[in-house]
Amino acid sequence: MEKMMALHPFPLYPAFRCGKATPWGGFALRRIYGKNTTDPHTGESLEMSVIPGLESTDQYGVSLSALIERNQRDMLGSRIEGPFPLLLKLIDAHEKLSVQVHPDDPYAARHEGKLGKTEAWVILRSEPGAQLVYGIKEGTTPEALRRACDNGKEIESLLRYVPVRPGDVFYIPSGMVHAIGAGVMLYEIQQSSDITYRFYDWDRADAQGNRRELHIRQALDVARLDLQPEAVKPETIPDRYCRHEKLLDTRYFRLERLFDCENAPFDAKHTHFSVLTLLTDGVIRCENETFSFPAGQTVFIPAECAPFSLTCGLCLIASPGV
């Protein structure tokens, strides 16, 4: 039997969430990374997505889910089963996002028929004084949180605020209350889920005076007040071709960061796919072909991928937990 040709890395092109869906967004995704946005309130570039209506595509406009359906084993790997596991985004928070929380898998399956959502953030840019909401203040009781929710603005005094700067990494497990602050651009890796429960939206209203929907009952159901984590401390991985850091290794996803790669070699993983997001311009060489990509480009690396090399000043590598 003739052996099939190995797959090549290929660029993904994003879908965008904008307008009323992201009233807090801006134009920075276009200005900094050249994303093809037209709405002045574009908050999210869904770099790798199979979310219905918000799917990323290849250079020919074929959706990622269609590409996977054609060749699932070679695309995803021998150990990836069930729903597609990951969603990757670039997020521009021109204004602060709502205070929100996500359910775990059992709650999401029972109430929404979907995966839950655990996620993580890598800060790419931040204005002076920028911060995140990263949990609830220690000692807050469920009763105190419930009372604050009944009184709107009172919840602000219970939130745990942390300053951010470029390069910081934050892990947000399901159940953790969180919000991105104004003046922050970040990379987000998460389970492939679109479930968000809003606690509070800073009393924000649109031009017609309409406020976005809150989900207080569900948010109180899933919020975990015991979560008090700190920013992730990267772990250095020995690598002769670049400075290599392990940022996260969880049951849902793995995330690494590479600096100053010069023809760094990559081989097929077989068990799982990987995804590169270049944060500076980069070059991939694969089977005598050379592909140049701009900063902000996301590239899908199939599980059965031909060997290739990467030259790039800074990039992130995401892969599913296996």
pLDDT by residue (tens digit) across 213-233?
A: 999 999 999 999 999 889 999
Rounded to 5 degrees, φ, ψ at 158 are: -100, -5
Which pair of tokens denotes residue 215? Answer: 């989900």
**Angle CA 9–187–129, to nearest 5:** 155
Q: Which element (helix H / strand E) includes 145?
A: helix 142-150
pTM over 0.85: yes
Rounded mean pLDDT of 293-301?
Answer: 98
212 is catalytic: no
For residues 173, 279, 46 and 182, what is the CA-based torsion angle, rounded to 10 degrees? 70
Residue 224 · residue 172 · CB < 8 Å:
no
pLDDT of 1 higher than 70: no
Whether the per-residue pLDDT at 4 is higher than 70: the answer is no
* C-beta neighbour count of 16 within 10 angstroms: 21
Question: What per-residue confidence (pLDDT) applies to 3?
Answer: 47
**Catalytic annotation, pick one of 17, 79, 147, 198:** 198
Assigned superfamily of 235-320: Jelly Rolls (2.60.120.10)
pLDDT, averaged across the chain = 95
Give the CATH superfamily of 10-222.
Answer: Jelly Rolls (2.60.120.10)
Domain with CATH 2.60.120.10 in the chain: 10-222, 235-320
Mean pLDDT of 237-253: 96
Q: Tens digit of pLDDT for each residue in 19-78?
A: 999 999 999 999 999 999 999 999 999 999 999 999 999 999 999 999 999 999 999 999
| Average confidence (pLDDT) over 127-134 | 97
Residue 150's pLDDT is 87
φ, ψ for residue 223, nearest 5 deg? -65, 135
